[in-house]
Amino acid sequence: MNAPIRNYDIAELRRQDVAHHLPAQADHRLIAEMGGSRIITRAEGCVIHDGDGNAILDGMAGLWCVNVGYGRQELAQAAYDQMLELPYYNTFFKTASPPPIELATKVAGLMGGHLSHVFFNSSGSEANDTIFRLVRHYWKLKGQPSRKIFIGRWNGYHGSTVAGVSLGGMKAMHAQGDLPIPGIEHVMQPYLFGDAFGEDPARFAARAAQAIEDRILQVGPENVAAFIGEPVQGAGGVIIPPDGYWPAVEAICRKYGILLICDEVICGFGRLGQWFGHQHYGVKPDLIAMAKGLSSGYLPISAVGVADHIVAELREKGGDFVHGYTYSGHPTCAAVAIRNLEIMEREKLVERTREDTGPYLAKAFADRLAGHPLVGEARSLGLLGAVEIVAEKGTNRRFGGEEGKAGPVVRDLCIKNGLMVRGIRDTIVCCPPLIISHAQIDELVDILK
Ligand code: PLP
């Protein structure tokens, strides 16, 4: 048990939170009305503790990221050792330090096959910005500069930077800042329950993939650079595409010579029971974005996996790729990520998710939640799950019409009862640490129920 290290004056912290702090992704009027945020002070394993003394089962692994759970001494030790030896150095201008090179080698081994190079950044959003710039640079090098357009999906999430929001398909985010930037198209998401209730899954998979081909033909294949998608859409509401969707998407990309980008920021590092989500679906992307589980959130680090044919083009043509961040390849973050991956391997967290805890969660959902009068669907893949709250059993009818409003209410009730989940419109999503036990999965499902 991870005992408190410091005693905080929570009332004073909440006052300062309102007086001086602007938390991310928040309604700042609401936070002020609440008298400050809920303050999480410490955590161990799968449990977080707030300043009011509540222990809460973390069904979200922080923000979809704490895959190895909280309180890992060896990750603190890895950061400590690296900080003493070389806390920081950059990878600009022909320099590098050992940890990012070692981490790149490790990640290349996990991606396998044709993805053998890695470019580092600090966040998932930055990874997608890197992809955006790299893809456009690549097509210029290839002598096809007209290939500029990216195709993403409505309700996809690729981050909060200008390029990330633009590639993503969150309309509320587009509305703030006059986004997307030009050159980005969005097509339908493969959301069977929400958008095509009752349709045959195979037919729907083909129809959703066809929407991509239709858009390619509409804008001209010679103008399309890449398609980007999350293997399973996370922030959109854990939208698990029907079988056949991803192979069809891959075939369309190949047919028109378009790059396939998988945003693995949530799905990477074991979440779906494979090291990467695209491996579950059996497709071969040209680029992948990864973050979160790479370091289990202990320090900020993200990466872009790059296919050999893209690297070959960079090498053949030469010239600077004038892109990078001060913290690209940060040695301390990379050292922690290496140790994090070692923990995942040692404890077989990917296999465990695939063969044990993932199926256990799916069965618990099926046995104990699917029949609930307010549940329209309870679905999961690996340790990523969603429960659709409906106003009328047997339909997909929401409480609040199109946008729904049950999600936040259920989420708040869950927190009161000791479980952290997230409400996205009328969908409750969960993404627990990969170390979660059967007993904790039971607890998660019982509280939710
Ligand atoms: N891509 C996906 C699929 C994500 O889920 C997220 C964050 O949740 C991001 C990108 C952005 O990552 P970050 O918040 O680290 O910038």
Per DSSP, the three-state class of 442 is helix
Q: What is the C-alpha radius of gyration for the chain, rounded to an integer number of angstroms?
A: 22
Q: How far is the CA of 153 from the centre of ligand 1 (A)?
A: 15
Q: How far apart are CA 27 and CA 408, in angstroms?
A: 13
Half-sphere exposure of 47 (CA within 13 A, CB side): 13
Q: How far, in Å, from the CA of 434 to the mean position of ligand 1?
A: 18
Q: Which protein residue's CA is at the shortest distance from atom 3 of ligand 1?
A: 265
CA–CA separation, 57 and 328 (whole Å): 33
Report the pLDDT value the prediction gives residue 183, as an integer from 0 to 100. 97
| 226 close to 150: Cβ distance less than 8 angstroms | yes
Distance CA 209, CA 59 (A): 32
Phi, psi of 171 (to 5 degrees): -65, -35
Beta strand 184-187 with 149-153 is: parallel
| Among 125, 238, 262, 431, residue to substitute to test ligand 1 (most atoms within 8 Å of Cβ) | 125
Are 233 and 264 in contact by the 8 Å Cβ rule? The answer is no
Tell me, what's the pLDDT at 400? 76
Confidence of residue 314 (pLDDT cuts 50, 70, 90): very high
How many angstroms separate the Cα of 270 from the Cα of each of 144, 266, 422, 426?
Answer: 36, 9, 20, 26
Query: What is the residue type of 113?
Result: G
Euclidean distance between CA atoms 1 and 113, whole angstroms: 41
**Inter-residue contact 255 to 224 (CB < 8 Å):** no
- The pLDDT of residue 112: 86
Across 130-156, average pLDDT: 98
Q: What angle do the packed helices 308-317 and 124-141 form, to 10 degrees?
A: 60
Q: Would you say the C-alpha torsion 215, 217, 220, 223 has a positive or negative sign? A: positive
Interface predicted TM-score (ipTM): 0.99
Q: How confident is the model at residue 4 (pLDDT cuts 50, 70, 90)?
A: confident
Dist CA 248 CA 316 (whole Å): 32
pLDDT tens digits along 328-358: 999 999 999 999 999 999 999 999 999 999 9
- Tell me the CA–centroid distance for residue 296 and ligand 1, in Å: 13
pTM: 0.97
pLDDT in tens, 372-431: 999 999 999 999 999 999 999 999 999 876 667 899 899 999 999 999 999 999 999 999
Q: Is 342 exposed, middle or buried (0-12, 13-18, 19+ CB in 10 A)?
A: middle
* E strands present in 237-299: 259-263, 287-290
Q: Give the up-direction half-sphere exposure of residue 14: CA atoms within 13 A in the CB hemisphere.
A: 16
User: Does the pLDDT of residue 1 top 60, yes or no?
Assistant: no
The residues lining ligand 1, judged by C-beta closer than 6 Å to any ligand atom, are 64, 123-125, 128, 157-160, 230, 234-235, 263, 265-266, 291
Ligand 1 atom nearest to CA at 156: 3
CA 208 to chain centre: 21
CA of 370 to the centre of ligand 1 (A): 29
